[in-house]
Structure 1
Amino acid sequence: MTDPRLYEVLSGRSAAGETVTKESALGLSATWACVNLVAGTIGSLPINVYRPGADGLSIVAKDHALYSLLHDSPNADQTALDFWEFIAGSIELDGNGIAEKVFLGDKLVALKALRADYVGRQRLASGAIEYRWTDEDGTPRVETEKKVLHIRGFGGGPLGGLATLSVCRNAFGSAQATDRAASAVFGNGATPSGILSTDKPLKADQRKEAEDLLTQKFAGALNAGRPMLLDNGLSWTQLSINPEDAQMLESRKFSGEEICRLFGVPPAMVGYGDKASNWGTGKEVDVLGFQKFNLRRRLKRIEQSLEKQLLTAADRAAGITIRFNIEALLRGASAERSSFYQSGLTNGWLTINEVRALENMPPVEGGDVPRMQSQNVPITEAPQIGHNGGPRLEETE
């Protein structure tokens, strides 16, 4: 059995009786929202190649061969955002982000993203790792790590990280089962809003007339709240949701929050968690926690994989590094950027032109000189003046 898709179907059954695949898991709103948030955020961050500058600071190496591949367009079909969003999403779901290295002679000219769940991997007797997949035209491919970029996710080993969908299959299966049960309840119309009853037997035409009356005059959003006048012994009994259905809805909510925990996403950031604040400091704490405990290690994992697998020995000797520009995360928060810049300018660790460069503005004359405030002096050196701004106190003696 060599087809990964067949293996996925046969081995993906959960304890709840649901078969968990990538498509079925992404059909859950919580999974879609979490993966979209993590992968989309990573994909939107610029990734740069740096080299040491004359003053010891790192400068962007736009003339390096890898810069345009990583920052602009890894291949002819995808932008950098498309590519890195796909790779990050693959790491979240499959535990691996895999791309083919395309060479022209000895020069790396493209990175082609591959579905990690369709790529077989094994360790050869020589110690090398062999990768097997099938191209879109049906051509079977067998390559070693020299022609494959492999970013491993959490856990696992050299052959790959642990796939969230496989390790946490039961959690996704339970969510799918609950979702399917809820769809069946509402799809079968098992939750009427009320019962129209009478103590007298109705003929077929009378029953049809009563049904038409309800449908035409009282059904639909436009008729909501319309008063109902009943005669001839008719009565209306309002129905509320039964405890079993209420429990099912609560289970759906719990399943969504559990999926958020699997991906390390605060529930409030994807619309879950009614006890969490979506405004003010509560939202800010969620965002900061997401950046610090979720994104940071994911970005570091990608950066180190790129440096290990794409940089040459000469690049490493020259101090070349690859880094995401996390300052882009602050672009949408003008108040936070303003506070950050003000602190840097006031305390002398940022210059005016450095701030302008971060805001994509041209430098100004004299803006490269660090400045800092000097009004904080020892109290013994403070000017001795009168309360009314007059001469020094000692001069009045």
Structure 2
Amino acid sequence: MEFGRKMRRGMKMLLSLLDPRSWSGVLTEPNTSGKTVNAANALTLSTVWACTRLVAGTISSLPLVVYQDGPHDTRERFKGHPLYTLLQYSPNADQTALDFWQFMCVSLELWGNAYARISRGAGKRIVALTPIRPELVQARRIENGSLRYRYSDGGKLVEIGQDEMFHVRGFGGAPLGGLSTLSFGRQSFGLALATDEAAALVYKNGLRSSGVLTTKDNRVLTPEQRDDIYKYVVDPMGGENNGRPIVLEAGLGWESIQLSAVDAQMLQSRQFSVEDGCRWFGVPPHMVGHTTNSTSWGSGLEQQTIGFLIFTLRERLKRIEQAIMKQLLTPAERLRITVEFNFEGLLRADSAARASFYSQMVQNGIMTRNEVRRLENLAPLPGGDDLTIQSNMIPATKLGELTSASGEAARRSIIDWLFPEGMPSLKQKEDA
């Protein structure tokens, strides 16, 4: 009863309707591992940290470009649009674009939702996007069918409409929000936390358990003798004193029990927790440093990058792109403006793959040499704006014509080189 009163009194002091952060873990469903899983302790797991950092870091480092449709189904960068600077360089006064999108992607990975307050200027022009911690936000639908968002800002309750909130929904895609990885994966993450804690305690004791105290001739001890043994032997030698020399008297003996990590299956449990955590985030284990098993994604960086893009990033990138198109552009703008991530940014660190890509684009007449040089921050070359195509690929029906024409052209070029003043006539040959 006394404990219950203290608990209720502590909850009254800590919990506040204006500060939802204080409710973290209180309303969470029970975890069989005995661990309450939240963002703070889940990120102490190396698997959660590595998966979240890999996905969020990769997406936030990609260029996010605003395009405008042009003639003949072409498009070009629309640098004059207000969103171009916000999305590409600085969404607000405090963050760079990389910082902002990394925060948003971490929110998506852990909570299944990412929120940013939309600030508008004259003419309802968007001037800033300020991120909000997702655990502070509550979404609800009101009678007219629109969405309202409520969150705590420094202890002050703020409620805004959907036209003032940029909301990217994670996996699940429900109107009120996506599904939280931390919530649905709490059993796996809780087990991993418990395994790490157990491993730390075992290694703290030098892989030694308590051991066994024996008496000579298996003599039965009196209650007073048992109390003395616990008082003068067991208790002083426990905890941090484990491993210190023990002085035994009256025929007492000590048998140490050695417990290895392999015998306790500690190593296998920790390896499984890595693979299990990677499954929750859809990240292949080898990309977060878990190389126990070989990967079937290919041996080259390009093959692994393509697999990571297709199976892990594509869905996430599409969610962000469509959220921007739907919430930050007007219906009229959506007909002629597109916002997309530039995937070629993933190849910047792979010089060989980048060179092969440029070579194919130039040789097939898709890009000019100066377009390639601009991507590499090089000055343009004279005549480098012309598209070039290799001529070794010709239609089979034109093979004879092109061969005859090329042969005649070659013959004439040789004659012109041998006789720059013209081919001598037959009479000139006889006189010679």
- TM-score normalized by structure 1? 0.79
**What is the rounded CA distance, in whole Å, between the counterparts of 1:331 and 1:291 in structure 2?**
15
TM-fit CA distance, 1:285: 3.6
Matched, 1:190 2:180: no
Cα distance change, pair 354–191 in 1 and its aligned pair in 2 (3 A): farther
TM-fit CA distance, 1:346: 1.6
Cα distance change, pair 6–156 in 1 and its aligned pair in 2 (3 A): farther
TM-fit CA distance, 1:325: 1.4
Matched, 1:171 2:188: yes
**What is the rounded CA distance, in whole Å, between the counterparts of 1:54 and 1:365 in structure 2?**
26
Q: Which moves more between the two structures, 54-63 or 112-121?
A: 54-63
**What is the rounded CA distance, in whole Å, between the counterparts of 2:349 and 2:88 in structure 1?**
20
**What is the rounded CA distance, in whole Å, between the counterparts of 1:188 and 1:143 in structure 2?**
54
User: Structure 2: which 5+ runs fail to align?
Assistant: 1-15, 210-242, 245-255, 405-410, 412-432
Percent of counterpart pairs with the same letter? 47
> Counterpart of 1:158 in structure 2: which amino acid?
P
Counterpart pick for 2:279 among 220, 244, 261:
261
The residue number in structure 2 matching 1:59 is 76
**What is the rounded CA distance, in whole Å, between the counterparts of 1:76 and 1:279 in structure 2?**
41
Matched, 1:372 2:389: yes
Counterpart pick for 1:11 among 27, 49, 57:
27
Counterpart pick for 1:241 among 247, 257, 260:
260
User: Which digits, 9 at most, give the CA deviation of each residue in 1:91-123, with x for residues without a partner?
Assistant: 000000100001224221110000111111111
The residue number in structure 2 matching 1:113 is 131
**What is the rounded CA distance, in whole Å, between the counterparts of 2:198 and 2:400 in structure 1?**
77
User: Which digits, 9 at most, give the CA deviation of each residue in 1:14-64, with x for residues without a partner?
Assistant: 221110001111110000000001001111111111111345321111111
User: Which digits, 9 at most, give the CA deviation of each residue in 1:118-155, with x for residues without a partner?
Assistant: 1111111111111111113x221000111000000010
TM-fit CA distance, 1:381: 6.5
TM-fit CA distance, 1:363: 2.5
User: Are the counterparts in 1 of residues 109 and 181 from structure 2 also a CA contact under 8 Å?
Assistant: yes
**What is the rounded CA distance, in whole Å, between the counterparts of 2:108 and 2:362 in structure 1?**
39
- Aligned residue pairs: how many? 340
Cα distance change, pair 279–42 in 1 and its aligned pair in 2 (3 A): closer
Counterpart pick for 1:314 among 307, 332, 353:
332
1:292-371 to 2 correspondences below 5 Å: 292-317=310-335, 319-371=336-388
The residue number in structure 2 matching 1:141 is 158
> Counterpart of 2:38 in structure 1: which amino acid?
T
SS of 1:323's equivalent? strand
User: Are the counterparts in 2 of residues 356 and 363 from structure 1 also a CA contact under 8 Å?
Assistant: yes
The residue number in structure 2 matching 1:41 is 58
User: Are the counterparts in 1 of residues 363 and 390 from structure 2 also a CA contact under 8 Å?
Assistant: yes
TM-fit CA distance, 1:8: 3.0
**What is the rounded CA distance, in whole Å, between the counterparts of 2:27 and 2:205 in structure 1?**
31
The residue number in structure 1 matching 2:90 is 73
Matched, 1:124 2:124: no
User: Are the counterparts in 1 of residues 47 and 288 from structure 2 also a CA contact under 8 Å?
Assistant: yes
User: Are the counterparts in 2 of residues 25 and 172 from structure 1 also a CA contact under 8 Å?
Assistant: yes
TM-fit CA distance, 1:314: 3.3
Cα distance change, pair 314–189 in 1 and its aligned pair in 2 (3 A): same
1:198-213 to 2 correspondences below 5 Å: none
Counterpart pick for 1:82 among 99, 108, 111:
99
Cα distance change, pair 166–159 in 1 and its aligned pair in 2 (3 A): same
User: Are the counterparts in 2 of residues 48 and 71 from structure 1 also a CA contact under 8 Å?
Assistant: yes
TM-fit CA distance, 1:293: 1.2
SS of 2:361's equivalent? helix
The residue number in structure 2 matching 1:273 is 291
**What is the rounded CA distance, in whole Å, between the counterparts of 2:178 and 2:284 in structure 1?**
23
Cα distance change, pair 359–132 in 1 and its aligned pair in 2 (3 A): same
The residue number in structure 2 matching 1:394 is none
Cα distance change, pair 349–248 in 1 and its aligned pair in 2 (3 A): same
User: Which digits, 9 at most, give the CA deviation of each residue in 1:215-262, with x for residues without a partner?
Assistant: 9xxxxxxxxxxxxxxxxxxxxx9x7825433x1121011101111111
User: Are the counterparts in 2 of residues 353 and 368 from structure 1 also a CA contact under 8 Å?
Assistant: yes
- TM-score normalized by structure 2? 0.73
SS of 1:9's equivalent? coil
Matched, 1:154 2:171: yes
**What is the rounded CA distance, in whole Å, between the counterparts of 2:324 and 2:32 in structure 1?**
38
**What is the rounded CA distance, in whole Å, between the counterparts of 1:278 and 1:335 in structure 2?**
22
User: Structure 1: which 5+ runs fail to align?
Assistant: 193-213, 216-236, 385-390, 392-397
The higher radius of gyration belongs to 2
1:281-300 to 2 correspondences below 5 Å: 281=299, 284-300=302-318
Q: Which moves more between the two structures, 373-382 or 91-100?
A: 373-382
Cα distance change, pair 300–24 in 1 and its aligned pair in 2 (3 A): same
User: Are the counterparts in 2 of residues 264 and 290 from structure 1 also a CA contact under 8 Å?
Assistant: no
TM-fit CA distance, 1:280: 7.5
TM-fit CA distance, 1:156: 4.5
TM-fit CA distance, 1:376: 4.0
Q: Which moves more between the two structures, 27-36 or 122-131?
A: 122-131
Cα distance change, pair 345–132 in 1 and its aligned pair in 2 (3 A): same
SS of 1:127's equivalent? coil
The residue number in structure 1 matching 2:40 is 23
User: Are the counterparts in 2 of residues 4 and 120 from structure 1 also a CA contact under 8 Å?
Assistant: no
Matched, 1:97 2:129: no
